[in-house]
Amino acid sequence: MSIYWIARNTFLEAVRQRFFNFLLILGLLMTALSLALSGFDFGGNELKFVADFGFGGLFLFGSILAVVMTVQLFFAEIDNRTAITLLAKPVSRFEFVVGKFAGIALLLAVFVALMALLLGIVLALRQPVLAAIAEQRGSLAPYFSLSGLALFAVLQWIRLLIVAAMTFFFTSFAQTYLYAVVVSFCGLLIAQLQYVLQDVAAGDKTGTFAKIAAGTIAQCVPNLQLFNLGPQLTLDAAGVPAGTVLAAAGYGCVWAGILIFLAFAFFRSREM
Amino acid sequence: MIPAVEISHLVKDFRIGMRGVKLRAVDDLSLTVGEGEIFGFLGPNGSGKSTTLKIVLGLFKPTAGTCRIFGRECRMAIARSDVGFLPEAPYFYGYLSGRELLRFYARVAGVAKSDLEAAVERALATTGMTAAADRRVRTYSKGMLQRIGVAQAIVHNPRLVVLDEPTAGIDPVGSAAIGDCILKMKEEGKTVIVCSHLLGQIENICDRVAIMNRGKLLVAGTLDEILTQPGKMQVSVGGIEHFSDADKAALEDFLRSRGATLDGLSRPRISLERYFIDRFSKQ
């Protein structure tokens, strides 16, 4: 039960902060702005342009939110010593970590849902117009799948959960706010470029040491590129096999679980 | 009867700096706090009081020794279900109102929904915070923060309340109000451990005290056991407007005849703190 109340309080704290509202408005504005750019006539690619704009905004602002708000809501609790008051109650450290993570997960869910909703409205409004233009020109009408977008939103939420869990992990032993933010963003960057490390590890022209180092690091960080299924899910009539989507979702949940467990292991022995 | 707190041969070492130099904060401390008493925990800064309290509350892991709360190992979360804690210089969620804050802590501490509002109102009334309960915590003065801190410590009606410097940095009127809260808790049968530098207040409210220095327990006992000066007696006399030198000589002769000496003679006066409280608490 404590987990529910800690999660609820974490979510409430987040939504009452200006930073969340600022990022949300910025993200929504960016998606809405893509409509205004339709005046430039991108032809058949306009829908893809709008979708890419929305996907980019979703991941960019979502990642900033996942890192900054996690540090703000988790590290600040330790730094301001509100965690002491809470942990002096019959609350275990596991409940504390899981409750905080659940609150942030809920926050990210709201963010992703609102961003995806607006993007869905924009795409749904433009698709018939562009389809009519394409028909006049005799070209192929652009395809848009609302259910595909919903599926993509769920995958993006899982991707952001990994980012938040990674931030939890770094924050669990961080001594300063700045350290937690900087290291978490570095972790995000490495996870985003994990495929490059895999390429280096598999490359023929790479030295043995570089191969081992790249391969080891690649094994230690999640591959966030696996979640880049937006265009296929949303704009491709062929879609994506269910197995691929489920595999990506499972991969994300496992990574988030591992990182949260590690965060708990470090936080458990932390003295406040 | 199971003691409220039972500390046995407690040791806590910290590793300091890059080389991990050992610093012993608590050194072989053994102590028992009985149920229903107000226990003062005293000592200079760095004497190990707060470290001991944090071990009691499961926030620090002891290097050696054991600590039990009502017979339960203090590291277990369930042992803290009967404990309320006010940390030193408390900081609370500023975006919540006082009432929301208490609701949150009450639910986290396991207060049932049906008992929630009554528990919150009782804690607010005990600490005199009812009037400010709907204001955001970030607008509270330091004294109000301390009082809402006491309220969150007692909202789940714990049997043991631990207060770390509850009156630090607040004026004598606010300090007296917290003193009254502590006495009210004792009337309700709660055990209260108070860690404070304000020795005058401790002296007025505590049944027993323990004094620590450099991690070691110097002395523990009732105030009478520790402070009474053997072979001395203090007499306060009423109805005397003028006390001449002849009266003083006669008193000295009387005492000499009983084998005693007159150590001092003065008109009693109230403390400045008492005067301040009497003067301002009426306004």
Q: Give domain limits for chain B.
A: 35-62+71-227, 245-280
CB–CB of B92 and A17 under 8 A?
no
Best B73, B100, B108 residue to mutate vs chain A (most A CBs within 10 Å):
B108
Q: Residue A42: its pLDDT value, please?
A: 58
> Does B95 reach chain A within 8 Å, measured CB to CB?
yes
Nearest CB partner across the interface for A13, out of B77, B90, B95: B95
Best B93, B161, B165, B193 residue to mutate vs chain A (most A CBs within 10 Å):
B93
Nearest CB partner across the interface for A87, out of B59, B110, B162: B59
Q: Is the dihedral of CA B105, B94, A6, B5 positive or negative?
A: negative
Distance separating alpha carbons of residues B183 and A162, to the nearest angstrom: 50
User: Could you report the per-residue pLDDT of A56-70, keeping only the tens digit for each?
Assistant: 889 999 999 999 999
The answer to whether A201 touches A100, Cβ cutoff 8 Å, is: no
Question: Given a cut of 90, is residue A19 above it in pLDDT?
Answer: no
CB–CB of A90 and B110 under 8 A?
yes
Residues in chain B within 8 Å Cβ distance of A84: 54, 59, 85, 87
Question: Given a cut of 70, is residue A93 above it in pLDDT?
Answer: yes
Q: Is the dihedral of CA A226, A231, A235, A236 positive or negative?
A: negative
Q: In what order do the strands lie in the sheet with B21-33?
A: B21-33, B5-16, B64-69, B72-73
Distance separating alpha carbons of residues B71 and B4, to the nearest angstrom: 8
Q: Which domain holds residue A57?
A: 2-268
CA distance B115 to chain A (A): 16
* Burial tier of B46 (Cβ tally within 10 Å: 0-12, 13-18, 19+): middle
> Does B23 reach chain A within 8 Å, measured CB to CB?
no
CB–CB of B109 and A269 under 8 A?
no
Helix (H) or strand (E) holding A219: helix A208-220
Question: Given a cut of 60, is residue A44 above it in pLDDT?
Answer: no
Q: Are strands B64-69 and B83-86 parallel, antiparallel or unpaired?
A: unpaired
Distance separating alpha carbons of residues B217 and A107, to the nearest angstrom: 49
Question: Given a cut of 80, is residue A43 above it in pLDDT?
Answer: no
CB–CB of A88 and B58 under 8 A?
yes
Q: Residue A27: its pLDDT value, please?
A: 79
Residues in chain B within 8 Å Cβ distance of A80: 91
Q: Is the dihedral of CA B33, B180, B57, A179 positive or negative?
A: negative
Name the nearest CA neighbour of A15 among A113, A86, A106: A106
User: Could you report the per-residue pLDDT of B190-207, keeping only the tens digit for each?
Assistant: 999 999 877 777 888 899
Looking at per-residue pLDDT, the higher value among B258 and A29 belongs to B258
ipTM above 0.85, yes or no: no
CA distance B109 to chain A (A): 6
Q: How many domains does chain A have?
A: 1
CB–CB of A90 and B77 under 8 A?
yes
Helix (H) or strand (E) holding B26: strand B21-33
Nearest CB partner across the interface for B152, out of A13, A85, A269: A85
Nearest chain B residue to A73 by CA distance is: B93
CA distance A116 to chain B (A): 29
Q: Which residues of chain B have pLDDT under 50?
A: none
Q: Residue B282: its pLDDT value, please?
A: 57
Distance separating alpha carbons of residues A62 and A55, to the nearest angstrom: 10
Q: Residue B176: its pLDDT value, please?
A: 83
The answer to whether A31 touches A118, Cβ cutoff 8 Å, is: yes
φ, ψ (nearest 5 deg) of residue A144 = -140, 130
Angle at the Cα of B266 (from B264 to B271), degrees rounded to 5? 115
> Does B78 reach chain A within 8 Å, measured CB to CB?
yes
CB–CB of A9 and B152 under 8 A?
no
Residues in chain A within 8 Å Cβ distance of B107: 1, 5
Nearest CB partner across the interface for A88, out of B78, B83, B89: B83
Nearest chain B residue to A91 by CA distance is: B77
Distance separating alpha carbons of residues B181 and B128, to the nearest angstrom: 9
Q: Is the dihedral of CA B193, B199, B200, B204 positive or negative?
A: positive
Share of chain A above pLDDT 90, in %: 46
Q: Residue A236: its pLDDT value, please?
A: 85
User: Between A and B, how many residue pairs show a Cβ–Cβ distance under 8 A?
Assistant: 77
Nearest CB partner across the interface for B87, out of A6, A16, A85: A85
User: Could you report the per-residue pLDDT of A95-120, keeping only the tens digit for each?
Assistant: 999 999 999 999 999 999 998 998 89
Nearest chain A residue to B104 by CA distance is: A5
Q: Residue A85: its pLDDT value, please?
A: 92
Q: Is B18 left (phi over 0), alpha (psi -120 to 50) or beta?
A: alpha
Residue keyed to tokens 């696996």: A226
3.20.20.140, 3.10.510.20, 3.40.50.300, 3.40.50.2300: which CATH number matches B35-62+71-227?
Answer: 3.40.50.300
CB within 8 Å of chain A, chain B residues 212-251:
none
Name the nearest CA neighbour of B73 among B12, B8, B24: B8
How far does CA B91 lie from the centroid of its chain? Answer: 19
